[in-house]
Amino acid sequence: MKIAFLLLVGILAVSACTQSTGYATNTQNSPLPKNVQQQEGAVEGMVGNEIGQTPPDFTVTAIDGRTIKLNEYARDKPTIVYFMATWCPFCARDFATLEQVFPEYKDKINFLNIGLDLTENEEILRNYKSRKYIPGELAPGAQKILIDYQVRSTTTKYLIKDGEIIFKNSGAMSADQWRRLLNALLSA
């Protein structure tokens, strides 16, 4: 089941706000992102940022004042952790697309947006959310979170289910790609 999920979402890797996304095919023309292909040695249950590992826990304060501890937030529902910035045009495109797609999933999947620009405080993020559709929760980031998750570009997303990272990539996605990803997350 996980292999089918990885094959389905592997084709979703697209460009991000930076020049290099870190995703590539191997010499056998596999459609899987490079980081997925290299996961065979990952130790299940080990804390880390790789597929098959337990995601590093963190606590953030959302712009509405709610304290969110990742391992509690992701306990009951599949969860997407999405790293964004208000100045990122690809994030804005993802959010516009998610406005069409995510409402049908909002009761089934948690969505936690984390600011990766550490100069963007709660007020800046609150103002941004008042102007744009942002699914789920939105919180300023912290250097430790960005390091733990090796965030190098906006639109970086981690999908977590049953306490394990089951997918990660970066890049804006189409409505069809988001639907396939969300459906796969629910059925994984």
The kind and range of the H/E element at 61 are strand 59-61
pLDDT tens digits for range 50-105 = 999 999 999 999 999 999 999 999 999 999 999 999 999 999 999 999 999 999 99
Higher pLDDT, 109 or 15: 109
What kind of fold does domain 2-187 have according to CATH?
Glutaredoxin (3.40.30)
Q: What is the pLDDT of residue 71?
A: 94
Bridge partner residues of 60 (DSSP): 68
What is the reported pLDDT for 166? Answer: 94
How large is the average pLDDT for residues 21-30?
A: 31
pLDDT band at 43 (very low <50, low <70, confident <90, very high): low
Q: Taking 60 as the threshold, does the pLDDT of residue 17 lie above it?
A: no
For the entire predicted model, the pTM comes to 0.78
Q: What is the mean pLDDT of residues 180-188?
A: 91
**pLDDT tens sequence across 125-182:** 999 999 999 999 999 999 999 999 999 999 999 999 999 999 999 999 999 999 999 9
